[in-house]
Structure 1
Amino acid sequence: MTTPTPAPDTPIGSTFRRQRHEKGLSLQELARESGVSVGMISQIERDIANPSMRVLTALRRALNMPMQEMFSDTAESSTEDPPFLRRAEKRPHIDLGPLQKELLTSGGNHHLQMMILTLAPEGSSGNTALSYPAEKGGLVLEGELTLHVNGQSATLKEGDSFVFDSSLDHGFRNESDAPARILWVIGAVQFDRHL
């Protein structure tokens, strides 16, 4: 079995800048809505920052931007492929330094997102816990992952799986000396379910 050649990494700065402009928001307005500093947003938009997952999630939610959009998914679908299919060689990537994301979900706006996370040794989701309405699950494909959810921690090894309510404070870290690869699944929770 041959490994597909991945699509090039996607710079996320221009995507966030375009989204902010399309919504007619200034840097100050987006900072107020997201809780992320103006300076950090400016650095992200110029692709000179290495933002944490918490920061990217806060910006994405403030912009009401689907996760798919973060990948600037411009890969042309084959006319013979149905819209539910994503070919391995057309997976968009985001490089966040110690964390890389490879999108598996096909194009379009879905309530379910699947990706492969590659986490370098000592790489993490950031120093601040994540928390937003969704359900998350996954499977450790290679290496080890320490997952923190609602004050509890577990180290998962290859073949271990997990599911949790991501409205609970959570985060993750690769505490090993080898890279980790994780199949990561996010099921968006529709806001009307919580009203």
Structure 2
Amino acid sequence: MSLQDLAQASGVSVGMLSQVERDLTNPSVRVVTAIRRALGVELTELFQELPKIQQDPDFVRRASRRPRLEFAQLSKELLSSGGHHNLQFMILHIQPGGSSGDSPLRYPAEKGGMVLSGELVLRVGEDEAHLGEGDSFVFDSSLPHSFRNPLDEVTKVLWIIGAVPLDRHL
């Protein structure tokens, strides 16, 4: 697929795609989501898988073998095992003042999670919640949503994404 085709399918500029491809920029969550959806790939396919040292069943992900995806304001530590599943979970490490980006995210899925440490400001539709350690949440991610870390320290969030069957949105 050419950069022009991907730009048209994702709504991300050719210049930004070129910078991402050449590893000159750290794309926002919104940009990565747009690219991933345009390419029709699962989030787990964007993580660099570490080679297996021992033979584990496909449903196991060892703590020492968690791949990480780095963004400008946060990183995602993949907890889900490899393969195609309808459930993905990870730990978001959100830098001080970091956020999900300038534009709200929105796509068919269910999301949930729990603040492991720090604080999270979560906005879903017109509602906003300030969450602290131990607080949890679940929402329909077809609604516009965003999040940010209001603190001067890293916030860690267990983040869960469940695929929603297409017929539920028909």
Question: The TM-score by the shorter chain falls in which range?
Answer: over 0.9
Would the aligned equivalents of 2:119 and 2:132 in 1 still touch at CA under 8 Å?
yes
Q: TM-score under structure 2 normalisation?
A: 0.96
Deviation at 1:95, TM superposition (A): 1.3
Counterpart residue number, 1:109? 84
Please give the per-residue CA displacement for 1:46-104, whole angstroms capped at 9, x wherever unaligned: 1111211111101000000111101022432622x221010000000011132011000
Q: Which of 44, 57, 81 matches 2:33?
A: 57
Paired residue type of 1:151: E
Change in Cα spacing, 1:77 to 1:105, as seen in structure 2 (3 Å) is: farther
Mapping 1:1-195, distance limit 5 Å: 25-76=1-52, 78-79=54-55, 81-195=56-170
Percent identity between the two aligned chains: 59
* Moved >6 Å (runs of 4+): none
Q: How many residues align?
A: 170
The runs of 5 or more residues in structure 1 that have no matched partner are 1-24
Change in Cα spacing, 1:112 to 1:77, as seen in structure 2 (3 Å) is: farther
Which one is further off, 126-135 or 92-101? 92-101
Q: Which structure shows the higher strand fraction?
A: 2
The runs of 5 or more residues in structure 2 that have no matched partner are none
Change in Cα spacing, 1:49 to 1:175, as seen in structure 2 (3 Å) is: same
Which one is further off, 31-40 or 69-78? 69-78
Structure 2 CA distance, aligned partners of 1:138 and 1:75?
A: 28
Q: TM-score under structure 1 normalisation?
A: 0.84
Please give the per-residue CA displacement for 1:87-123, whole angstroms capped at 9, x wherever unaligned: 0000000111320110000010111000000001100
RMSD, matched Cα: 1.1
Paired residue type of 2:93: T
Change in Cα spacing, 1:128 to 1:141, as seen in structure 2 (3 Å) is: same
